[in-house]
Structure 1
Amino acid sequence: MSSGGVQEHQTRYGRTGMDRAQLAAFADGLLTAALGHASPSGSLITLPGKPGGYGTAVDGLEGYARTLLTAGFRLAGEGGTDPLNLAERYAAGLAAGTDPAHPERWVRPEEHGQAKVEAASIALILDLTRPWIWDRLDAGVQERTIEYLSSVVGDRDYPHNNWVWFRIVVETFLRSVGGPWSAKDIERDLAVHDGFVRPGGWFSDGDERAYDHYAGWALHLYPILWARMQGAAEAHAPLGAGTRHARDVAHLDRFLQDAVLLVGSDGAPLFQGRSLTYRFAAAAPFWAGVLAQVPSASPGLLRQAATRVVGHFVDHGVPDPDGLLNLGWHHEWRPLVQRYSGTGSPYWASKGLLGLALPAQHPVWTAAAEPLPVDAGDVRAVAGAPGWAISGTQADGIVRVVNHGTDHAFEGDLTGDSPLYARLGYSTATSPLLDAPAWTDPGDQSVVLRDAQGRATHRSGFRTLDLAAVESAAVLGSVAEAHWLDADLAAPDHGSGRPGTARVAGSVTTVSVVRGAWEVRFVRVAGLVTGDDATAARALEITGWAVSGTDADHAGPGDVRAGGLGSRVVPLLGGLTAGAREHTHATPFGPRTVVPFAAAEPVPAGEWAAVAVGLWGPSADPTPPGAELDDGVAVVTWPDGTLTRAKLPDPGH
């Protein structure tokens, strides 16, 4: 290992990838900086900044457990060679943290749920580094560690999502060291996990339509790591270990075929979903694919995807000048985080460094690099489970998804739209509006009805239409009961939309025809709920991509520019008028954001309206497509002359 230090950020790792030495130096720098904030015993690593929503005690435990992931990967990959003295330092922290009489003892799993998460990281690394940490602990520390972890056995208070893996991992480790464990717990948790399986290799993070990076950095990662733990096969032998692992690998293999499409040519992951402050944890499923030896992706491609995701953040100034991962994206930006996020939380990014657990001679480090899909050509695909049309353009390296299946809700719910899940589009180059008003007033990548006070409707609970097609273009659609919401702003923020009292405004059908940098969005409003002037829908508004930067500005009606990006909404059908709206400090990508839109007042009910919605970067073609209707068929003419015909839903749909 190197002695580390703050990385130089004048790099292009996001476009070239990183070799093992570069990634190792980056990891050692993160560890060196973080360990500078360890408590005297080493049990708590409390990073600077305002405490998180769960308090300083949890922050310090997270700092220990999540940096331990990186330390463990480094120890395993080097066969125990340890110039940073990581094994001894973390062992000392373990001894103090598990000692109930120590002033720096850890908050326990039965005292705070977040400790159940951190317990899994500790157990995972104690298994991975068994010869260098666990086997060298004295018997008393081993006994206290077993006692600390064993409180999870039989605990029924685990959220119905990726958290089931935290208990599976802990109990598997406990079994391997002679501690208490429960076959029924593991069987029950595996059954819950199996309930999250969706077609095409995807997982939902819970029963709702919750599709995000947790599919990869949790629900795909843990089964692969678990299978490598000592005694894992025996722990679930009655459940069919070999068959389960083969199924896990096949499911991961299929997921990765979509996941590699979602990385921009600059290494940027898709900016969508909660916990984005974990940053390059988005690289984790690619390393999982290497460990699992998936058949459909080569080690050279998976290494490129993983290290370019890490490299993207290095290129953009991560870590900060003090060598730390702060709460934000490229830079600190606290509005990005959820209630559960604390100063140690960003170090779950350690999962994106998993490849360092593989030695230098492993094929993943010696294989020839392969280009990402968006490097090799334009990308067009449909991911069925999340309801995404994926469109990447080689000219600018941007990957976009148009979303008709994800809202972190159930079909029929009338909740608020989460900007992280329910918008119509996400990309590797933009952020949705994430300031406080964005949670109650959808103002980008939306189709809304506005009342006399200007209040916008929400779409969560929409029904996805069976329109998926990929020929000359991808075609997706949905029907929403557009509703105004009196939101409960006191509800805990875990990334999903706000609950509240809903009032239906009408039905909005949206069909997206997607190709290259453009989406042609067809919209029809029906069943408007009548009321007085104050409670009825007065206008239809269709918004496009939010672009941010110090130079974000209007370039014309419905046409905006920022930092080399262009975003435009072009009215095509339905008497719409284009405009743009400005926001300040609304995304982590810059202090100024402009969103293009098209609107019509009164609402053109019962008729199809259409706009072209575009997002492009330097070197891409900003020429918009055209559209017309032909007896219920949408006919789109693309800038290169290609025609796409798409049957629009009948009024009764």
Structure 2
Amino acid sequence: MTIPFELPEEDRELSPITGYTRAHWETVADGLLGAAWRWATPGGALLDLPGRPSGSGVRSDGLEGFARTFLAAGFRVAGAGGKDPHGWLERYAQGLTAGTRTPGRDDTESWPLILDHHVQGQPMVESASVALGLSLTRPWLWDQLDSDVQDRAETWLRGAIDHTPAPNNWYLFPFTVASFLESVGRGDEATTRAMERALGLMETWYRGDGWYADGDGRAFDHYNGWALHLYPLLHAHLSGDTALSARFGPRLREHLEGYSLLFGADGAPIHFGRSLTYRFAASAAVGIGAVTGHTPLTPGTSRRLISGNLRYFLDRGGVTDDGLLSLGWHGPHDATLQTYSGPASPYWASKGFVSLLAPEDDPLWTATEEPAPSEGPDRVLALPAPGLLVQSTQADGIVRLHNHGSDHVRPQEAESAAQEDPLYSRQAYSTHTGPTSRTNVADNHLSVVIAGVASVRRRLRPLGAGQGDGWGWAASSHLPVFASGAPMVPGVRVESVTVARGRYELRVHRVVGAPHGAGVRLTGWASDALSSQLHGLYGWGERDEVRAPQGTAYEPWVRVPRLSGTAEGTAVFVALASLSADEPSAPLADAVSEVIVHERELRVRWADGPQTVVAFEPVRVTHG
């Protein structure tokens, strides 16, 4: 793909893998900012980027354009020690002045008011970006404003503190606003409460292994990196709060032990969870780790990850011919989006530029690039706290994420098939494939079929995870829910176990309480460009392929392998799946020599010798 702004020459000596240097990051930031500012209102308060509006409306979308690009400008200028050759800060100062003059008015420039999340909440999200941009650039922007403009900006920002956030990472938005106000001597009891409230909630959401739940449920996704780790550590870094850094830094370090494996050898992050149109914001956790020193990664590995992630999207159409970030993944892709996605939403990718806070002589930019974790030997990593299992293969650089713990079902919600979310409900995700759309056949999914209606997977109940030398496992159970007829069938549940080894995925499902006439279907990876295989080992009857004409974020049209069987009472089903860049030399059927199923356990003998034992009630897996 052609990038509509000229990049510096690649440096293959310093960056032998990506060719990118710090200068590339600065150039991309400047290019994205220049393109976005062509759509500014006359006073510069709103950036009304072209495209369909979000559910919050065009005025909120315009504020989003201002605030999210301000993040990129803030990191760009602060990282350069205040040097601003393109005059970005003058534009944002003018926009701030115009936007806060009469907030809430329906005119050309006025910013919308910040209200409760369920009323008109999106401006609260953007207030954090405005506050963070002001924190980053305080000496060159805020300190130069007239006092009345400062007063107006404070009044507008305080809307985030005076109103109720959504019950998740949104509490970090008033936290960030309060952090800025306190840093400029405008703190009070309200700002203190906002910060204490957010930090207290962070403790309740921390689940271990370096992972936070995004709220009181079990939502584990990229928000860990670009929100839940980023905001507290940026506050600690900018304010010099060593106590807070000591509290949150080790968690980020542990998070990066596993998260750094979730980037493919081509730089792609795992296509999993919501807001994926933020793209290279996925590298923000790696960047803030390098900036603060809370990272297990060498500087060369950190830069390889962030630059690989940036280049991945630049090379694949993430930037339009007009220099704008498109709504989608590679290029535009509606199924990747949420209702809150508007034309400027992709500019949360600006968080990836946090790496520019490391000065040009920092080892992050001067060390020679080193391979990413996924470019090393085949690896399997179990993360019991979030219920995830990561599997990478060196031969093709593909990383797979087996999901047995992240469901994005809020605690107060009843389970409903109508709310099924392909970005969380599937059993497996990867750096090279995306889930099929809700209207097509579901990939990587076990469904119980009753009266012709196939179930979906909603609330997950993790049953354990672990790993050994070259292998690992994770397990969960769920209650099948149906879109028509009875929403649930009494007594029916599904226990699912994934055992990863090399390129192989042993998928075991135990269906309990199935009524007479029930069917069971299992699908594999959705791809036509890659080799997707699914082989039944026990309990399955037919095998076929199903078409998904709406495709995925990676391919416009795909096929999905499928196994079918029948169940009554308690039944066990065993299959072997794989996803690889090249057609394997040996079929999956040759990988396993024997499967023996007893009432409460099954034994799988691999062709090369080892045996895997999966026990039920409780679920335990051994291998050797």
Q: Aligned residue for 2:380?
A: 380
SS in structure 1 at match of 2:514: coil
| 1:359 shift after superposition | 2.1
1:70 Cα offset (Å): 0.7
Q: For residues 571-600 of structure 1, what are the alpha-carbon distances to aligned partners after superposition, in whole Å with 9 as ceiling and x for unaligned?
A: 111142211100112422222111101101
Deviations 1:510-549 (A, max 9, x none): 222111222111222221246xxxxxx53110111111xx
**Matched position secondary structure for 2:454:** coil
Which amino acid is the alignment partner of residue 165 of structure 1?
Answer: L
Partners of 1:622 and 1:308 in 2: CA distance = 32
The residue type equivalent to 1:88 in the other structure is E
Partner of 1:584: 549
Counterpart CA distance in 1 for 2:283 and 2:371 is: 16
What's the TM-score, normalizing by structure 1? 0.87
Q: Name the counterpart of 2:393.
A: 393
Q: Which of 228, 243, 249 is equivalent to 2:237? A: 228
Q: Counterpart in 2 of 1:60?
A: 62
Pair 1:605–1:221, CA change in 2 (3 A) = same
> Are 1:24 and 2:26 an aligned pair?
yes
| Conserved? CA contact 1:119–1:149, under 8 Å | yes
Mapped contact 2:465–2:472 kept (Cα < 8 A):
no
Larger mean Cα displacement after TM superposition, 85-94 or 574-583: 574-583
Q: Is the 8 A contact 1:482 1:507 kept in 2?
A: yes
- Structure 1 residues 30-109: aligned runs within 5 Å: 30-100=32-102, 103-109=108-114
Tell whether 2:219 aligns with 1:210. Answer: yes
**SS class of match (2:296):** coil
| 1:451-600 matches, cutoff 5 A | 451-453=450-452, 455-486=453-484, 501-504=487-490, 506-529=492-515, 538-547=518-527, 562-563=528-529, 565-600=530-565
Which residue is equivalent to 1:490? none
Q: Which residue of 2 aligns with 1:239?
A: none
Kept in 1, the 8 Å contact 2:250–2:294? The answer is yes
- 1:202-281 paired onto structure 2 within 5 Å: 202-230=211-239, 233=241, 242-281=242-281
Partners of 1:458 and 1:362 lie apart in 2 by: 49
The answer on whether the counterparts of 1:469 and 1:475 sit within 8 Å (CA) in structure 2 is yes
Whole-Å Cα distance in 2 between the matches of residues 541 and 86 of structure 1?
A: 55
Aligned position for 2:604:
636
Give the gaps of 5 or more residues in structure 1. Answer: 234-241, 488-499, 531-536, 548-561
1:621 and 1:393 map into 2 onto residues whose CA distance is: 16
CA RMSD in angstroms comes to 2.6
In structure 2, distance between residues paired with 1:21 and 1:643: 50
Query: C-alpha offsets along residues 94-124 of structure 1, whole Å, 9 cap, x if unaligned?
Result: 1101110764111121373111111111111
Amino acid at match of 1:201: G
CA deviation string 1:62-98 (max 9, x = no partner): 0000001111111112222222110111111111011
Q: Could you list the per-position Cα deviations for residues 282-311 of structure 1 after superposition, in whole angstroms to 9, with x for gaps in the alignment?
A: 010001101220252222211211111111
Kindly indicate whether the alpha-carbon contact (under 8 Å) linking 1:413 and 1:461 is maintained by their aligned counterparts in 2: no
Correspondence for 2:576 = 612
Q: Is the 8 A contact 1:544 1:568 kept in 2?
A: yes
- 1:140 aligned partner: 148
Change in Cα spacing, 1:204 to 1:343, as seen in structure 2 (3 Å) is same
Residues 1:41 and 1:503: Cα distance change in structure 2 (over 3 Å): farther
* Native 8 Å contact 2:387 2:464 kept in 1: no
Q: 8 Å contact 1:278–1:346 — kept in the other structure?
A: yes
Which amino acid in the other structure matches residue 186 of structure 1? M
Q: Which aligned pairs between 1:256-335 and structure 2 lie closer than 5 A? A: 256-294=256-294, 296-335=296-335
TM-score by length of 2: 0.91
- In structure 2, C-alpha distance between the alignment counterparts of 1:295 and 1:451, rounded to whole Å: 49
Q: Secondary structure at the match of 2:550?
A: strand
- Return the alpha-carbon distance in structure 2 between the equivalents of residues 307 and 509 of structure 1: 40
Find the partner of 1:170 among 152, 167, 177. Answer: 177
Q: CA–CA distance in 2 between the matches of 1:652 and 1:26?
A: 49
1:349 aligns with 2:349: yes
- Measured after TM superposition, the shift of residue 219 of structure 1 is 0.2
Deviation readout 1:29-62 (Å, 9 max, x if unpaired) = 1111111111111111111111111110011000
- Is 1:427 the counterpart of 2:430? The answer is yes
Question: Structure 2: which amino acid aligns with 1:21?
Answer: A
Q: How many residues align?
A: 600
Give, in whole Å, the separation in 2 of the partners of 1:81 and 1:321.
Answer: 28
Distance 2:196 2:459 in 1: 32
Verify the 8 A CA contact 2:378 2:470 in the aligned structure 1.
Answer: no
Measured in 1, the distance between the counterparts of 2:84 and 2:330 equals 30
Provide closer, same or farther for how the CA distance between residues 589 and 264 of structure 1 changes in structure 2, counting only shifts above 3 A: same
On the 8 A contact 2:383/2:465 being kept in 1, the answer is no
Q: Deviations over 1:406-453 (max 9, x none)?
A: 21126995333321112110100000112x425xxx621111111333
Deviates more, 1:403-412 or 1:315-324: 403-412
Q: 1:410 to 1:123 in 2, by over 3 A?
A: closer
Deviation per residue, 1:587-638 (Å, 9 max, x gap):
22222111101101x3264332211111111376564232512655544344
CA distance, structure 2, for counterparts of residue 55 and residue 9 of structure 1: 38
Output the amino acid matched with 1:415: S
Task: Give, in whole Å, the separation in 2 of the partners of 1:286 and 1:126.
Answer: 23
What is the distance in 2 between the residues matched to 1:133 and 1:225?
19
CA shift digits 1:376-404 (9 cap, x unpaired):
21111101122111110000000001111
Segment drifting more, 145-154 vs 392-401 = 145-154
The SS at the match of 2:497 is: strand
**Residue 449 of structure 1 contacts residue 457 of structure 1 at CA under 8 Å; is this kept in 2?**
yes
The residue that corresponds to 1:557 in the other structure is none
Indicate the residue corresponding to 2:446 in structure 1.
Answer: 447
1:99-138 maps to which residues of 2 (within 5 A)?
A: 99-100=101-102, 103-110=108-115, 112-138=120-146
Provide the rounded CA distance (Å) in 1 between the counterparts of 2:561 and 2:540.
Answer: 16
Cα shift readout 1:173-229 (whole Å, capped 9, x = no counterpart): 112223354222221221112211011110111111101000111000111111133
Match of 2:183, as an amino acid? S
Q: Distance in 1 between matches of 2:405 and 2:618?
A: 21
Q: 1:597 to 1:504 in 2, by over 3 A?
A: farther
Q: Is the 8 A contact 1:457 1:505 kept in 2?
A: no
